[in-house]
């Protein structure tokens, strides 16, 4: 019962966060992106630009080891970090961020991973996404790759590593 209530509460928060408006990141006015990320875990991703170099991203994913992962991050972009030697390079936006992650599993007594030997079904942690996104100049698409080291803090403390490749459509 508690798991269902947590899922509903987080879903309501996530949906309300998704429809929060923010300033445009480009002259096109396309500041909200929605797409998919493939990796560990694989899921749905959303990004909300807060200007030309700051954004929030959030996601819902399913990990192959049978748990759902919900995350939210604040990202700081560095648009000219790679220089402007070619048009492609100038369209790359590397970023670093900080965020939180929540894991929900309906399998008890897991060994290793988020839950260790604990029967817990809820896990919490912090994450530090590091990545780069290419924003296409003629279509509202962003293609990204990111690596995400982090630390689980509940129900036990341990390090973890996620990563993925994804695409978002901006509208």
Q: How far apart are CA 71 and CA 37, in angstroms?
A: 13
- Is the pLDDT at 120 greater than 80, yes or no? no
Return all residues near 68 (Cβ < 8 A) that are at least 6 apart: 7, 60, 61, 62, 103, 104, 105
pLDDT surpasses 60 at 44: yes
Q: Peptide bond before 41: cis, by omega within 30 degrees of 0?
A: yes
- The mean pLDDT value of the chain amounts to 82
Confidence (pTM): 0.78
Q: Quick check: 11 pLDDT over 60?
A: no
pLDDT for 109 beyond 50: no
The residue behind tokens 């797409």 is 35
Which residue has better confidence, 105 or 157?
157
Cβ-contact 31, 24 below 8 angstroms: yes
**For the stretch 9-47, what's the b/e string if a residue is b when 16 or more beta carbons lie within 10 angstroms of its beta carbon?**
eeeeebeeeeeeeeebbeeeebbbbebbbebebebebbb
CATH topology of domain 2-170: Porin (2.40.160)
Find the mean pLDDT for residues 68-74. Answer: 94
Q: What percent of the chain shows pLDDT beyond 90?
A: 52
Mean pLDDT of 76-81: 92
8 Å CB contact between 18 and 58 = yes
110 band by pLDDT with thresholds 50, 70 and 90: low
All structural domains of the chain with their residue ranges: 2-170
Mean pLDDT of 67-76: 94
Report whether pLDDT(73) > 90.
yes
Range 161-171 average pLDDT = 95
């Amino acid at each position: 019962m508690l798991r269902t209530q947590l899922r509903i509460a987080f879903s309501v928060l996530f949906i309300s966060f998704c429809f929060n408006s923010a300033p445009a990141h480009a002259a096109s006015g396309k500041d909200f992106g929605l797409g998919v990320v493939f990796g560990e875990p694989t899921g749905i991703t959303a990004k909300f630009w807060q200007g030309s170099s700051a954004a929030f991203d959030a996601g819902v994913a399913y990990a192959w080891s049978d748990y759902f992962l919900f995350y939210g991050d604040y990202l700081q972009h560095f648009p000219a970090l790679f220089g402007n030697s070619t048009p492609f390079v100038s369209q790359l936006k590397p970023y670093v961020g900080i965020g939180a992650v929540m894991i929900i599993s309906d399998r008890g007594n897991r060994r290793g991973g988020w839950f260790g030997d604990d029967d817990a079904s809820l896990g919490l942690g912090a994450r530090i996404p590091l990545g780069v996104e290419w924003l296409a100049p003629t279509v509202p698409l962003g293609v990204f790759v990111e690596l995400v080291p982090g630390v689980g803090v509940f129900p036990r403390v341990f390090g973890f590593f996620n990563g993925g490749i994804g695409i978002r459509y901006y509208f």
